[in-house]
Amino acid sequence: MTLIALEEHYAWDPASADNVVATWLRTHNPVGYDRLYDRGPLRLEQMDAAGIDFQILSLFDPGVQEESDTALAVDLARRANDDLAETVRANPRRFGGFATLATQDPDAAAAELERAVTELGLVGALINGHSQGRYLDDPAYEPLFAIAEATSAPIYLHPTTPHPAVMDAWFAPYVDDGLHLASWGFAAEAGTHVLRLIYSGVFDRFPGLQLIIGHLGEMLPFAAYRIDRYYGLGGSGASSRGLKHLPSEYLKSNVHVTTSGNFCPPAFACTLEVMGADRVMFSVDYPMDDNGTGAEFMASYPMDDATRRKVASENAIHLFGARIPDVIGR
Enumerate the domain spans of the chain. Answer: 4-323
The vertex-215 CA angle with 181 and 146, nearest 5°, equals 100
Residue 108 to residues 42, 140, 285, Cα–Cα distance (Å): 34, 11, 28
What is the pLDDT, as a whole number, of residue 20?
Answer: 81
Catalytic annotation, pick one of 105, 285, 289, 326: 285
Q: Judge whether 285 counts as a catalytic residue.
A: yes
Q: Minimal CA–CA distance to 87: which of 46, 52, 120, 113?
A: 120
Q: What is the pLDDT along the chain (330 residues), one digit of tens a residue?
A: 999 999 999 999 999 988 888 888 888 888 889 999 999 999 999 999 999 999 999 999 999 999 999 999 999 999 999 999 999 999 999 999 999 999 999 999 999 999 999 999 999 999 999 999 999 999 999 999 999 999 999 999 999 999 999 999 999 999 999 999 899 999 999 999 999 999 999 999 999 999 999 999 999 999 999 999 999 887 555 555 689 999 999 999 999 999 999 999 999 999 999 999 999 999 999 999 999 999 999 999 999 999 999 999 999 999 999 999 876 554
Residue 59 φ/ψ, nearest 5 degrees? -65, 135
**Whole-number Å distance between alpha carbons of 36 and 51:** 19
> What CATH number has the domain spanning 4-323?
3.20.20.140
pLDDT at 32: 85
d(CA 329, CA 95): 17
Task: Report pTM.
Answer: 0.95
Q: How far is CA 275 from the centre of its chain?
A: 17
Please report the pLDDT score of residue 326 as a whole number: 78
What's the pLDDT score for residue 327? Answer: 67
